[in-house]
Amino acid sequence: MKRLLFRLIATLYRWAYQRLYNEFAWSYDIVSWLVSLGQWDSWRRTALRYVQGERVLEVAFGTGELLPLLAVKAENAMGLEASAAMHRIVDGKLHRHHLRFPRVQGVVQRLPFADESIDAIVSTFPAGFILDPIAHREFARVLRPGGRVIVVDVQIKAQNPLMRAFYSVVFPPVKESGQQFAAAVEAGQLTRSRHLHGEGAVEVVVTLLEKPL
């Protein structure tokens, strides 16, 4: 029964995720704020502590909230996103703020960048591509020696049963994901380190994947 419930939650999660990146993209920022109890933006900004280099790429940038902040940290900030709906939303945001950023519509498994041309890659709350070995080989290909991938996610620390149940629905655990992630990272031959931030019900997890010099 428990396994069936987790499968149902996972199926609903995937369905909702697809809607948020397509016809309901307009609601993404509101939903993110609600499900994180207002913490989504501060969680996402944790990536900025680890950004280095002049040429930085955010993959799967969603509604583009992090792009202007990355531009402050790096001379050349760029974005890649597969969803046309998200690109339209970012177009509107950047136009209202009189900002311009190089962006491309594409998938992580086929990064349209030259070998060893990127100093840092940022991925906050990544989708299924983060478990794909092909994506990690692409990361390794485009990173310069000494470059890094910055992956931001969260883990549930709440002791309150109601809080744990809430966050388990919002961020459903996938038993095999840890093993899949390790295998994907190994395919890219990047070194991995894990850094924890914050206290309370939810802890921010930053995983650094670095290309050896």
The confidence score (pLDDT) of residue 15 equals 65
Measured distance CA(154)–CA(149) in Å, rounded:
16
| Token pair in block for residue 155 | 């883990």
C-alpha 169/C-alpha 111 separation (Å) is 32
Per residue in 70-79, pLDDT (tens digit) is 999 998 999 9
Q: What residues have CB less than 8 Å from 184, skipping those under 6 apart? A: 130, 131, 132, 133, 135, 136
The enclosing domain of 26 has a CATH number of 3.40.50.150
Q: What is the pLDDT of residue 112?
A: 96
> In the numeric block, which tokens belong to residue 171?
């961020």
**133-142 vs 177-188: helix crossing angle, rounded to 10:** 40
What does pTM read for this prediction? 0.87
The pLDDT value given to residue 63: 94
Domains: count for the chain: 1
pLDDT of residue 50: 97
- The secondary structure of 51-99 as a DSSP string is --SSEEEEES-TT-TTHHHHHHH-SEEEEEES-HHHHHHHHHHHHHTT-
Q: Report the pLDDT value the prediction gives residue 35, as an integer from 0 to 100.
A: 80
Low-confidence stretches of the chain (pLDDT < 50) are: none
pLDDT for 19 equals: 73
10-30 tens-digit pLDDT = 566 566 667 777 777 888 888
Please list the residues that pair with 124 across neighbouring strands.
Answer: 152
Q: Which domain holds residue 126?
A: 2-210
